[in-house]
């Protein structure tokens, strides 16, 4: 039996749900065991990659530039972002009862939303940084000064806080007296709103507006900077030996666009269509896979990072 508390409502008694049940990926042990191994490897790779990127940027003085300042903050966000979801998901893959309390669910939504919005705006700031560096190299040090870099990161944090406050305030006004089954592997705001017993139309509108402002705005910034400013790609292709840089830029662009598009796919679709298996696959990409891919793109395909790693290993060895 689920623990519940009774609330007095205008229309009568309401038995408020005190915990939710997550459906996860599958109830079959034959599938859960391989999924546990796969997602554990992905999560460990994300942890090692993002922690390594943070340490390398912090320890190597040659990487103390605006681009790597943004990269270290992106790695920190990805580290927190994946940790909010992955440990609970891995535990549920080995558990028979996939339950999460109302309080833990609310905390997971708040923290996840905070870092989700921060990553969107930080990616837009990184796109602007690359635009200035390649199209206006002589003004780069003047435009991308340390003060502006800190302001951009702080601004992404403040926007995330505003989003969390708006979502939390709206969520606290809702009651959950019916089904407590969330058809997903973690607590997210969209499937939770579909379980509300009280009127959640205002919350859905708020979610739609905030998701549009966040995803569409940052997506447009990245698209305008990296798609329409063709001088970036023309400049890279015209430089001898710059083909790897172009490849890294394209790889980052693909991962970034997929991150934004998958997030918009989840939050902008009608809530009645949420309980689908393809939604879980899309959610896995932007909650678990993207935090693993970002450090790999910037470390394995970046000569400066690899050189800094070699210097760190040599100092440790000798």
Task: Please report the domains of the chain, with CATH numbers, ordered by start residue.
Answer: 4-317 (1.20.1070.10)
- E strands, 38-79, are none
The per-residue b/e assignment along 101-136, b for 16 or more CB within 10 angstroms, e otherwise, is ebeebbebbbbbbbbbbbbbbbbbbbbbbbbbbbbe
Cα–Cα–Cα angle for 100, 258, 63, rounded to 5 degrees: 95
The per-residue b/e assignment along 49-85, b for 16 or more CB within 10 angstroms, e otherwise, is bbebbbebbeebeebebbbbbbbbbbbbbbbbbbbbb
pLDDT of residue 40: 93
Query: What six digits make up the tokens of 2?
Result: 């689920």
The residue written with tokens 């896995």 in the block is 284
pLDDT (tens place) for every residue of the chain, 318 residues total: 344 444 444 444 666 777 888 887 777 777 888 889 999 999 999 999 899 888 888 887 777 888 889 988 999 998 998 899 999 999 888 888 888 888 888 889 889 888 988 988 888 888 888 778 777 788 888 888 999 999 999 999 999 898 888 888 878 788 888 778 888 888 888 888 888 887 778 888 887 788 777 777 777 777 776 665 555 555 555 555 444 445 555 556 666 666 666 665 665 565 544 445 666 777 788 788 888 888 877 766 567 676 766 776 666 655
What one-character DSSP code corresponds to residue 173? T
pLDDT of residue 233: 57
Cβ distance 50 to 293 under 8 Å? no
Cβ distance 15 to 177 under 8 Å? yes
Is 223 strand, coil or helix? helix
pLDDT of residue 217: 76
Name residue 100's beta-bridge partners: 20
Residue 159 to residues 17, 80, 153, 203, 213: CA-CA distances in angstroms? 31, 17, 10, 18, 11
Cβ distance 250 to 152 under 8 Å? no
d(CA 92, CA 23): 9
In sequence order, the 6+-apart residues with CB closer than 8 A to the CB of 277 are: none
pLDDT of residue 211: 76
């Amino acid at each position: 039996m689920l623990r519940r508390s009774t609330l007095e409502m205008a229309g009568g008694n309401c038995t408020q749900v005190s915990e939710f049940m997550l459906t996860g990926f599958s109830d079959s042990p034959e599938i859960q065991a391989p999924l546990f191994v796969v997602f554990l490897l992905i999560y460990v790779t994300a942890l090692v990659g993002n922690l390594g990127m943070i340490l390398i940027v912090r320890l190597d003085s040659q990487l103390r530039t605006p681009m790597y300042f943004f990269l270290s903050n992106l790695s920190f966000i990805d580290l927190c972002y994946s940790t909010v979801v992955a440990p609970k998901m891995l535990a549920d893959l080995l558990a028979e009862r996939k339950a999460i309390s109302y309080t833990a669910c609310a905390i997971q939504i708040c923290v996840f939303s905070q870092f989700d919005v921060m990553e969107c705006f930080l990616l837009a700031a990184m796109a602007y940084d690359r635009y200035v560096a390649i199209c206006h190299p002589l003004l780069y040090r003047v435009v991308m000064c340390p003060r502006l870099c800190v302001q951009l990161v702080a601004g992404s944090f403040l926007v995330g806080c505003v989003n969390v406050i708006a979502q939390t305030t709206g969520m606290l006004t809702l009651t959950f007296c019916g089904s407590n089954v969330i058809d997903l592997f973690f607590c997210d705001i969209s499937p939770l709103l579909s379980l509300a017993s009280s009127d959640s139309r205002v919350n859905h509108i708020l979610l739609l507006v905030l998701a549009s402002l966040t995803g569409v705005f940052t997506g447009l910034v990245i698209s305008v900077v990296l798609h329409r400013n063709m001088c970036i790609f023309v400049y890279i292709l015209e430089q001898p030996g710059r083909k790897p840089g172009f490849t890294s830029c394209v790889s980052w662009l693909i991962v970034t666009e997929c991150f934004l598009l998958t997030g918009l796919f989840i939050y902008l679709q009608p809530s009645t269509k949420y309980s689908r298996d393809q939604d879980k696959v899309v959610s896995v990409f932007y909650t678990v896979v993207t935090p693993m891919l970002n450090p790999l793109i910037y470390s394995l395909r970046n000569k400066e990072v690899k050189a800094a790693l070699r210097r760190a290993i040599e100092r440790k060895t000798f």
